[in-house]
Structure 1
């Protein structure tokens, strides 16, 4: 993993018109390129470096291509998706829970997230080249926010989540990388999960207190987005008081969950109503985010060939008055067989981009509402939980009439709305994992009536070591002291 990071990091230097040698024995100076320490003195180069860190978030292992795409992997591991025998069998090893250190096809998140971290750390290494002031502070805030987000994506996937089990906080964490050093390629897992979370929160706290960019630019972190991410981190940590506080701060700055009139356009156009952070994509970049789900969908119809489809049990949870049903799912035939296809990431009519070239939504205000509602319930504040749920549901169901729920009924509704709202959006696996639940599939097949061949794997117990993904063997080959997760 580290060798890959080194190579890509050096390539990132060329995007700034600079070069840094990665060979201690051949310390030469280029006649045509400027060393990093000299180049990283202008505001333009620091801005470009930050843009490069954000751009890396859509790389392979995060949101690009089909195999290992985080848009789909956390859902196909659970009961939100079922394998379509008419597809190409992409991601089948993950769907079938055949996770191993040697199976790089499950996900490349480990390598890509550390690449993002490397890009975020690069401007921090040279931050003292800038004069003190708002620009310098803002650059540091962006870099630390991106660094924290990538570390969080890693720690929740490859380590235990604090609320998952009693031993989680003291269990094995991941390296928290705070320095840009492409010559150094040995890292050890010397932090606990609790210590990793402390580092994430420290970076995000600095960022939210110092970031100054306009909140209208949804392609970068704003105060609202950082507070929103903090609500997610605190929820996973089990610190429900701070989850509520951070979430409320985010909601105060960006209250719209995406109005019912705009909701379809959030996915089928460039609307950012209710979006806190998106990852830019364009025809020039042509990153096919949605190809992990299907091929063939268009804004007006089309014969859809899906890799994975929506099981009947989930589809029927979306009522006829729920805007999410048509925004997320389309029932269509392929080779004469009717199935419920995911079109959430299929097309962008507003941008005129090719099929599946869309902008990933990294964080939305609707999730923040759900984070706060869940945390408020845990704290016994059912009034706040009901208020947030009713606000969200008023923008999802036509002619919605608010209700007041209590106890188990309220908790079940929070969980239902989380599933419906964040389906196919990198959440379902982590909800099971952080709550220490058994993942139980229904035994149904992929057809619209529930018929067809059921999944081979139906049940994953909370004690299963595969809830923590394997560290890639390539990382351990490079750094033999890097400890593998138990069970692999």
Structure 2
């Protein structure tokens, strides 16, 4: 049998393997090549391997370039964004709900996330070989299992139903949960229900939160606060509101900031400002990982692929600090647009190269507020909602909403806060709501050309994205989603 060769660089570790259903071919030039069993006899190699797993989040289909970039996919498929007539038409098919198994706009995440999983499983394959011990070993295993859970969660919410989406969602077809390093596996199948997949995700996260020792100084690596926050997110999607509250409160107890009002613009524009960030996909100028290019380019005027929908833009009041942080109004090719410049770049660094804020304290607070409301504790939900609003509006009088008005206010703030952070599509999906676009055009005042497709009904099969045809060709045991 051909041995895998491990290639080590000072920055990260990459495994060179031939992959089928759950990974892909990857080779990078590096200065040292050695057999993987030998490489994993040194403690520092475990760290390099784990950092290599984090690095895979920057791959195509996850958080890089434009096509299928998860920074934009959750918004361009909804009422948050509208395609411009002066852009390059990237991701147009997805925005028009033209999902297909051979279009990387909606299939790229599948292989990209399984690559992350494969790299975490590589670390776990050697975790008991005696090289690591004590807290060092516990932390490494915890990090690997937490990141493995994150990637599986991203896959299952995109390609399967969300547990709260319909009455039968929990028992509907899930995904393959990969727990061993087997890159040549071509027999894996979607053998779990959605509920069983969530069980495994939560099991991995609970192990991680009990064993992780890493502090949250380096936001590019998982910490206890981040894992608690992830448990809050996953349980919200599952409809387990008691645990959404439990773990969300624990996360906020460790890392309480939801980003101070005076700091809000800075966390998107300053490299070392992480106020309110729990976990991020770190990014450096040297990598040239232009995550913001999915939205626009400077040529030298801003040229956008998608701009904010006019109704959403006007929902941000003039005293909302998010409006200036997220948008720039300027002309391109003689037409004026409200550009999304949330990811345009950091001060003094190249355009479109920014850290991806994967999880923020503000989201955790919103998770908990919604869970309190759905658990019958509207008073505490309102306290949390007002806490967030006090940090987002330059002048704010605490709200007094109750009942449906309170839930509407929580969901409105969620949309405003997490716009362009891969949330909107999944919020609509988990609430079993349709996409209903405004009918407004792409120009700054709502005129111009509206979106071609205006609606996607709740319950439509397209809420479950298609499995890539290449994965099915490599492994026929993988079942395609219905009607693709």
**Fold similarity call, TM over 0.5:** yes
Partner of 1:290: 292
- Structure 2 residue runs of 5 or longer lacking an equivalent are 20-31
Pick closer, same or farther for the CA change 1:107–1:293 going to 2, 3 Å: farther
Could you tell me whether the CA contact under 8 Å between 1:322 and 1:397 is conserved in 2?
yes
Check the 8 A contact 2:6/2:36 in 1, yes or no: no
- 2: CA distance between counterparts of 1:344 and 1:261? 16
Residue in structure 2 matched with residue 135 of structure 1 by the alignment? 136
3-state SS of 1:261 partner: helix
| Greater mean deviation of Cα atoms: 96-105 or 305-314 | 96-105
Alignment partner, residue 460 of structure 2: 464
- Cross-structure match for 1:151: 152
Q: Indicate conservation of the 8 Å contact 1:264/1:323, yes or no.
A: yes
Match of 2:113 in 1: 113
- Alignment partner, residue 23 of structure 2: none
- Stretch of structure 1 that moved more, 278-287 or 417-426: 278-287
Range 395-404 or range 158-167, more displaced: 395-404
Between the aligned partners of 1:379 and 1:19, the Cα distance in structure 2 is 46
CA offsets, 1:311-369, max 9 Å, x none? 210111000000000000111111221110000000110xx321101111110000000
After TM superposition, list the pairs within 5 Å mapping 1:67-466 onto structure 2. 67-129=67-129, 130-270=131-271, 271-296=273-298, 303-349=301-347, 352-466=348-462
Q: Where does structure 1 lack aligned partners over 5 or more consecutive residues?
A: 1-6, 24-31
Contact 2:5 2:34 in 1 (8 A): no
1:391: how far off? Answer: 1.0
Equivalent residue, structure 2, for 1:3: none
For 1:176 and 1:234, the matched residues in 2 are separated by 18
Distance 1:240 1:113 in 2: 27
**Aligned counterpart for 1:485 among listed residues 474, 478, 481:** 481
Cα deviation code 1:231-263 (max 9, x no counterpart) = 110000000000000100001011111111111
Q: 1:153 to 1:485 in 2, by over 3 A?
A: same
CA separation in 1, counterparts of 2:217 and 2:112?
Answer: 27
Evaluate the alpha carbon distance shift between residue 51 and residue 18 of structure 1 in structure 2; reply closer, same or farther with a 3 A threshold.
Answer: closer
Q: CA deviation at 1:183?
A: 3.2
Aligned partner of 1:43 in structure 2 is 43
**In structure 2, distance between residues paired with 1:191 and 1:197:** 10
**What is the TM-score with the length of structure 1 in the denominator?**
0.93
Distance 1:481 1:216 in 2: 43
Q: How well do the aligned residues superpose, as a CA RMSD in angstroms? A: 1.9
Output the CA distance in 2 between the equivalents of 1:41 and 1:359: 32
1:422-480 Cα distance to aligned partner (Å, 9 max, x none): 00110000011000001101111111221112111111111210000000000111111
SS of the residue corresponding to residue 277 of structure 1 reads strand
Quick one: distance in 2 between partners of 1:485 and 1:49? 33
How far has the Cα of 1:399 moved from its partner?
A: 2.3
The range that moved more, 175-184 or 201-210, is 175-184
Structure 1: distance between partners of 2:264 and 2:104: 36
- Higher alpha-carbon deviation: 61-70 or 394-403: 394-403
* Segments ≥4 residues shifted beyond 3 Å: 9-23
Shift of 1:13: 4.4
**In the TM superposition, what is the alpha-carbon distance from 1:17 to its structure 2 partner?**
7.7
Give the Cα separation in 1 of the matches to 2:435 and 2:14: 49
Checking the alignment, whether the CA contact within 8 Å between 2:107 and 2:465 is kept in structure 1 is no
Residue 305 of structure 1 aligns to a residue whose secondary structure is strand
2:41 & 2:468 partners in 1: Cα distance? 37
CA drift of 1:401 comes to 2.0
